[in-house]
Chains A and B, each alone.
Chain A
Amino acid sequence: MININILKPNSDNFQTYLYIGSGFIFISIFDVILRSFFNLNFSTSLPGILNFFLPLILGLVGFQMIRLEYSGNRIVDKINESVNNNTFNAGLTLLIIFLTLIATPPALNWMIFEATISGDTKEACVATKGACWTYIKVWFRRFMYGMYPNDFHWRINTAFITLIGFAFVGYFMRGKLKNYITFYYAIFYPIIAFIIINFLISGGSFGLEWVETNAWGGLSLTFIVSFFGLIFCFPLGMILALGRRSELPVIKYISIGYIEFWRGVPLITVLFMSSVMFPMFLPSDAFVDKLIRVIAAIILFEAAYVAEVIRGGLQALPRGQYDAAKSLGMGYWRMQIFVILPQALKLVIPGIANTFLALVKDTPLIFVVGLSEVVGMLQMAKTNPKWLGYAMEGYIFASILFWAICYAMSKYSQYLELKYKTER
């Protein structure tokens, strides 16, 4: 009993406890810093286990000593409230701090201090113990553009910049033009995009050399696949969602069948079907490019997921909306387009954004059927006999790349969610 009483402060002796407690905490953290950064250990004389756990014990004692509600000190109150509200939490807090301190030096050494980025060959990396960023530097263009000829990379860049430009057109549509904004994004924009990509990236006319699709690759291919996926799976998903909610049994059951089928099979088998088996189902004279087949497969696949999200929105709308629209004498399509869909879509924007995010994250799977987007190029670079042994650097690079893209997307979807929540 007496032990606990010793460690328990009260408002009278808190000042003393605060000094001693902070001292303990400081020593414990300082000990870990010494151990991890400078490889020093001043408690080696203690038995092994005690030596190992010494910082934790000291820290826990320290936290125990400063734990007091309404201590009168604002900083201490804040600490107690946020990281030190009981012994268990104090222990976890210490563990997190220690782990961070222990993991930091080797991680920093590997990534920065002992890493190298100089030179253009593997030889530059032989002597270093850290990461070989030279590898990323040398292969960078491949990771971005795949096997697309170096001289033509400007074509991909131009195409993407133009596409982004056209995407912002809707933003400037004012007045009467604003009525056509949906029309623009649903029909006109995909056509523009297709034309731009066809003429600029694929080439073959206007004096631009033709680059076949199996030379496309890297991040630009990821963008192309996700871009077309996003544009086309949305309208298809919308139709399917309406179909599933339809009162006409044939349409309803066909939609259900379609949605449940695509949601039930793994994308990898669908891609395999589309890439090597699909020509079997076409007239023997027909020829559809593999990339187009794969994108089509992704669209058909993701549309089923989009449909389910939109259905959620449709179901959430109160019955009254339908009744009101009907009582105004609106037909089915007028009702859907002007009353139901605008409201339902607003409800499911975060869900749709999540589906789109999933689509972007699914694009590396096209590597499995022989299209080399970023992950595919990584696999190729990793097994290149001149660059064996740098898999880690490649994966870290790609992880950061994807993480940045997907994180931005998810933050944007959260922003939209907030925006539409308040507007309602």
Chain B
Amino acid sequence: MNHKIKSIIPQLLTLLFVVAVIGFFTINAQLNMDERGIDFGYGFLSQESSFDVQFSLIEYDGSHSYAKAYLVGLLNTILVSVLGIIFCTIIGVIVGVARLSPNYLIRNTAAWYVEFFRNVPLLLQIFFWYYAALRALPLPENTEPLFGVTYLTVKGYYIPRLIWENFDILLYSILAAIISIVFIRNYARKLQEEKGQQLPVLLISAGLLLLFPAITFVTGMVQLEVALPVLKQLSKTSFIYADGISVPPELLALVLALSLYTATFVAECVRAGIQGVSKGQKEAAASVGLTPNQILKLVIMPQALRIIIPPTTNQYLNLTKNSSLAAAIAYPDLVLVFAGTALMQTGRAIEIVSITMLTYLTLSLTISLLMNWYNKKIAIKEK
């Protein structure tokens, strides 16, 4: 009995405290809103937004609803996050491996890169890229081409646009290639288990991935045209490049800063992962006659990945949350479009900020849950 009370009272007190705090805030908000004639509701989401956004992945203009504007912002956030994740992974893996390189210069260059970019605040890096580096670029009419057909200007990075005909057929062909690869892999495993023969699966897979789409091209089902950026005059002294795709400098700066910053953390994860696999494993694998490639693929990688993936996912999550700094440099992400312009035009601060926070919360909780599930799946099952 005594024990029961002892455990109930603190719980009750905590609960009361939390309820009291939340209640206090809610009551105040209610009173203040009543007094100031502000109503609460999400009806505004279906109203016409009547503002345009710099760029959007889906069709959008001011005649669409606020809900659509929200979607535009969310997709832009996802776009910059995905780009950032891709680049930070590439840089992070290279730098992480380089930190373990036997080459003294490489090792130390990588170490300096990590020490520098990790210890400068991200906002400062974003500002540096956007306001100092990219702002110093030349105007479109004075720009020398980069890689022949692309132009890096103060107004953005202009790259050729690919114009596909029957793009869906290409997608189907890739899908077909992937399905056949799965079959071949299964067959190869069976072959290995039953007869001990090995198939060059990787080679075959790569070949199939190239072959199937290539057929669609050769037969003329799918066609690809490239539209090069062409200088277009708007007035006596203002020019742009038309026809190509324009990557706005805001996106460029954000992706650069996010990936260079996050890559330092990814690099540390990769390094820890590789170092975490004991040398004995490698030697043992070699002694049973595995080739160096097999050792890497079958022994080192699975173990290293187990150490690398959880903290790296955490970094990806951080990158996604950090992408909200976009608002400081006019990149139209969720915070700028929705918690910025839309909030301003409707004045519904509580509703909009709560939706924004909830969106980020959902994003990170989903990834965390997936992560936990994955961790459980790959955890070494000890007896």
Distance, CA A365 to CA B364, complexed state (A): 21
User: Is there contact, CB below 8 Å, between A251 and B120?
Assistant: no
Q: Is the pair B124, A395 in contact by a Cβ cutoff of 8 Å? A: yes
Does A265 have its Cβ within 8 Å of any Cβ on chain B?
A: yes
Q: How far is the CB of A285 from chain B (nearest CB, A)?
A: 11
> Is A367 close to B, CB under 8 A?
yes
Would A92 and B105 count as touching, CB distance under 8 A? yes
Q: Kindly state whether residue A213 has any CB partner on chain B within 8 Å.
A: no
B322 engages A96 (CB within 8 Å): no
B335 surroundings in chain A (CB, below 8 A): 266, 268-269
Contact pattern, B 98-133, Cβ under 8 Å of A = 1, otherwise 0? 000111111001000001101111111101100111
Query: Measured between alpha carbons, how far is A194 from B274 in the docked complex, in Å?
Result: 46
Q: Which of A74-106 contact B (CB under 8 A)?
A: 81-83, 85, 89, 92-93, 96-97
- Contact check, A92 vs B103: say whether CB atoms are below 8 A apart: yes
Known: A250-B14, A265-B360, A382-B131. A277 touches B349 (CB 8 A): yes
Q: Are B132 and A395 interface neighbours, CB within 8 A?
A: yes
Stretch from A39-47, A204-212, A256-264 forming part of the interface with B: A256-264
Is there contact, CB below 8 Å, between B15 and A93?
A: no
Interface string of B354-373 (1 = CB under 8 A from A): 00110011011100100000
Pairwise interchain contact B121-A362, C-beta atoms closer than 8 A? yes
Asked if A392 lies at the interface with its beta carbon under 8 angstroms from chain B, I say yes
A248 x B364 contact (CB < 8 A): no
Chain A interface, >50% SS class: helix
Q: A96-B109, A254-B18, A399-B128 are in contact. Are A266 and B102 (CB under 8 A)?
A: no
Interface segment out of the listed B28-36, B65-73, B155-163: B28-36
B353 interfacial by beta-carbon distance below 8 Å: yes
Chain B residues with CB under 8 A of A313: none
Interface residues of B in 301-320 (CB under 8 A from A): none
Question: Could you say which residues of chain B place their CB within 8 Å of the CB of A329?
Answer: none
Chain B residues within 8 Å of A85, by CB: 102-103
Given contacts A251-B10, A382-B131, A391-B135, contact A83 B104 (CB under 8 A): yes
Q: Is the CB of B10 within 8 A of A407?
A: no
Q: Do residues A402 and B11 form an inter-chain contact, with CB atoms below 8 A? A: no
Supplied contacts A96-B106, A265-B361, 11 more A-B pairs, CB within 8 Å? A82-B104, A92-B106, A265-B360, A268-B327, A280-B28, A280-B33, A364-B123, A392-B133, A392-B136, A399-B128, A402-B124
* A to B CB contacts below 8 Å, 29 in the list: A93-B103, A93-B105, A93-B106, A96-B105, A96-B106, A248-B10, A249-B11, A260-B361, A260-B365, A266-B321, A269-B339, A272-B339, A276-B349, A277-B350, A281-B26, A283-B28, A283-B31, A284-B28, A284-B32, A364-B121, A367-B123, A368-B328, A392-B136, A395-B128, A395-B131, A399-B124, A402-B119, A406-B119, A407-B115
Residues of A whose CB lies within 8 Å of any CB of B are 81-83, 85, 89, 92-93, 96-97, 247-251, 254, 260-261, 263-269, 272-273, 276-277, 280-284, 357, 360-365, 367-368, 375, 378-379, 382, 391-392, 395, 398-399, 402-403, 406-407, 410
